Structure 1
Amino acid sequence: MRAIGGLLRWRRNPLRRRTDLVEAWVALVALLLMLAVAPLIGTLVGGAAQQTLQRSVREQHRARHLVTATVLRKLDRVPLDTDPETSSARDLRSRVLAEWTGPDGSAHREAAIAGLVSPQAGDRFAIWTDRQGRMVARPLDSAAATTHAVLAGVGAALLTAGVVECARRLIVWRMVRRRYARWDRAWEQAGPDWGRTGTGS
């Protein structure tokens, strides 16, 4: 709104300089770019991120399998978890020696993190594995992928608006520097006696 107000203010003002009008037009164009181009870029980036992430979700769900593991025995806490002062979601998970059968029928026995508060031998818990039965991270879920895509779109829109604003400020800064340089030249031409009584007589 300041850009439009500035443009209207300078349009018929007798004190208007050419640079004032250019500055108002630059502000108006920057505003229009922020309102039209930034959301468009955010939408395009968010849409592209959504397609890529949802494809990754589908691939991960095809490649990763939920299998049931059986606790053989509880293992000691990992060194990073020895501080009793730290309390987090890790407190509800225990490190155990477990065995499971992979989707391909292969048998596996190794250390795993079980979502059990007090695991005992014979307890069962779910883990994610690849086709060969090796443990892998939980696959990305669709809602999380959508959240990441939205954040990418919002970030792209804000970045675009920031770039436009930086460009506007740079253009105005250069215009102001040129204006000051012209003023300096005008003062030099006026000479050191400008304004004194009898100058030029």
Structure 2
Amino acid sequence: MALRGPQVWLWRWRRNPLKRRADRVEAWVVLGVWLLTAFVGVLAGTAVGRSVEDGLDRERAEWRPLVARLTERAPGTAAGNHSVSRAEQVWAEAMWTAADGSPHSGQVRVPAGSAAGSPVTVWTDPEGRQVTRPVTETQARVRACLTGGVAGLGAAAVPLAAGRAVRGRLERRRIDQWDAEWSRFGPMWGRTTG
């Protein structure tokens, strides 16, 4: 276990007669890596978050609900009340007409036992293809923040890892220099002048 004294802030930039050129280079590398890490992380996170939120806003603006009709009776038996849980819903085939007049069909979730011809709401894109219900504005903001945060952390890891590699190389070089100096001056410690 290494013994450490009190922590001194900005110790890398303080004057010290024992500080070598490698120590000064390492100090600037550490500062540069931290600044680059913060910059890249914030930039990537912001860009990805905005992109996700713009895409979800576009979906919310373009996707429209349409009334579709079941083409067949839904499997299962009909429930007595209209508040049907998600577990009591089944998949059934439905048809709808897109805004451009083209016919479309697809599988939709409906209450078990629904009669053929029953109306059901489907969400479609501008081409009339079936899509999921778009997320709300709040959900879009949360999703954009989470995605942007993960992207920012991932992007920030790149300069951080590169900085760690550079620091490791500088450390190995410094130790090699110490070894060379020790091998040159170490044997002199045993001599006495007389």
Q: Same fold (TM over 0.5)?
A: yes
Out of 87, 94, 97, the residue aligned to residue 91 of structure 1 is 87
Out of 137, 151, 154, the residue aligned to residue 149 of structure 2 is 154
Aligned residue for 1:79? none
Out of 56, 61, 66, the residue aligned to residue 58 of structure 1 is 61
* Counterpart mapping for 1:41-190 below 5 A: 41-59=44-62, 61=63, 65-70=65-70, 72-75=72-75, 91-98=87-94, 100-103=95-98, 112-116=107-111, 118-121=112-115, 123-129=118-124, 136-143=130-137, 144-190=139-185
Aligned residue for 1:24? 27
SS of the residue 2:131 aligns to? coil
How far, CA to CA, are the matches of 2:59 and 2:17 in structure 1? Answer: 62
SS of the residue 2:163 aligns to? helix
- CA drift of 1:49 comes to 3.5
Would you identify which runs of 4 or more consecutive aligned residues in structure 1 move more than 4 Å?
104-108, 129-133
- CA drift of 1:45 comes to 3.1
Alignment RMSD (CA, Å)? 3.7
Identify if the C-alpha distance between structure 1 residues 131 and 67 changes in structure 2 by more than 3 Å, giving closer, same or farther.
farther
- CA drift of 1:174 comes to 0.7
Answer whether contact 1:93 1:115 (CA < 8 A) is retained.
Answer: yes
Identify if the C-alpha distance between structure 1 residues 114 and 152 changes in structure 2 by more than 3 Å, giving closer, same or farther.
closer
- CA drift of 1:43 comes to 1.9
- CA drift of 1:179 comes to 0.9
TM-score w.r.t. the length of structure 1 is 0.64
How far, CA to CA, are the matches of 2:175 and 2:23 in structure 1? Answer: 13
How far, CA to CA, are the matches of 2:9 and 2:159 in structure 1? Answer: 17
Identify if the C-alpha distance between structure 1 residues 170 and 179 changes in structure 2 by more than 3 Å, giving closer, same or farther.
same
Aligned residue for 1:38? 41
Aligned residue for 2:12? 7
Q: Runs of 5+ in structure 2 lacking a partner?
A: 1-6, 77-84
How far, CA to CA, are the matches of 1:51 and 1:162 in structure 2? Answer: 26
Q: What letter corresponds to residue 158 of structure 1 in structure 2?
A: L
Q: What letter corresponds to residue 181 of structure 1 in structure 2?
A: D
Q: What does the per-residue CA deviation read over 1:115-149, in whole Å, with 9 as the maximum and x for residues that have no partner?
A: 31x3232544222356786x622253353444443
- CA drift of 1:169 comes to 0.9
Identify if the C-alpha distance between structure 1 residues 128 and 148 changes in structure 2 by more than 3 Å, giving closer, same or farther.
same
Identify if the C-alpha distance between structure 1 residues 21 and 131 changes in structure 2 by more than 3 Å, giving closer, same or farther.
closer
- CA drift of 1:70 comes to 3.5
SS of the residue 1:72 aligns to? coil
How far, CA to CA, are the matches of 1:71 and 1:19 in structure 2? Answer: 77
TM-score w.r.t. the length of structure 2 is 0.66
Identify if the C-alpha distance between structure 1 residues 44 and 174 changes in structure 2 by more than 3 Å, giving closer, same or farther.
same
